[in-house]
Structure 1
């Protein structure tokens, strides 16, 4: 459904993003790689003030994440991180929401610029959390590719 909504939003002129991850599925007659949404039920969409009514009138859109009746924008670094993660060949997977840990930025490689936290249970795992959705995604990294950010 996310893909259909994204196409409908794009047809209306909106910039949209449905971050995906790859998973291998096995059937009795074949094995296939599928691209599943990292955030099931969510389509990220850029719009300017006054145009959110056009977005919410799109078939499949239930509502826009908002506070006090106003659409709540994602931080630009969160969107940039999601775009890089979803377009990379890295092994990205959904994980439980995390917001505690050392905040770092990847400084080298195809994911350079992605900001996240180093997971406490796996020191080689970078977790990118979307605060407003209370959802996170994780990717394996080399620790020599990151630099610690000021708290």
Structure 2
């Protein structure tokens, strides 16, 4: 056994000890392979989330609206780390996102907020990742209970959900009366 194989086995053992319960993980994919990975996860019956949004794309002779991943290069999956080999062996998967070589789960609240935005057909689009800003909680509407940041754009307010692990964010229009500041 080589030194690299030994390291992989030790990491796997540590992961198995750490988590046998399913959690949400961010998965880095090959460029433009998010939908391929999604389809394979569906075939393998791996619970996943690939939020998509509509984007206008200019071709030589026309403008077309296409559906692209909200977080390019990433898909989310819900599984126990003891089953990570099934995920990693999926064509198009590069790695599990984490710190210091260890997969880190994405908080359930962040996944649930994104799922609510998609399920309720709220107008959303990618947003630059925010680290600082006014933290708020949504107090009514389909995103009630979600926490994020409030930003102003052209006299309208937008609620921004940042996924810290992949340093990406998504924004949705919101009425400022539907949020309260976090203390």
Are 1:84 and 1:114, in contact at CA under 8 Å, matched by a contact in 2?
no
Superposition pairs of residues 1-150 of structure 1, within 5 angstroms: 1-25=33-57, 28=61, 32-119=64-151, 124-150=157-183
Give unpaired runs (5+ residues) of structure 2.
1-32
Give unpaired runs (5+ residues) of structure 1.
none
The structure with more helix, counted as a fraction of residues: 2
Q: Select between 14-23 and 83-92 the one with higher mean Cα deviation.
A: 83-92
DSSP 3-state at the match of 1:113: coil
In structure 2, C-alpha distance between the alignment counterparts of 1:32 and 1:24, rounded to whole Å:
6
DSSP 3-state at the match of 1:133: coil
In structure 2, C-alpha distance between the alignment counterparts of 1:62 and 1:119, rounded to whole Å:
33
TM-score by length of 2: 0.73
Rg comparison, structure with higher value: 2
In structure 2, C-alpha distance between the alignment counterparts of 1:105 and 1:81, rounded to whole Å:
11
TM-score by length of 1: 0.87
Output the aligned Cα RMSD.
2.0
Displacement of 1:121 after TM fit? 5.7
Are 2:136 and 2:182, in contact at CA under 8 Å, matched by a contact in 1?
yes
The structure with more strand, counted as a fraction of residues: 2
Shift in alpha-carbon separation, 1:26–1:67, aligned structure 2, 3 A: closer
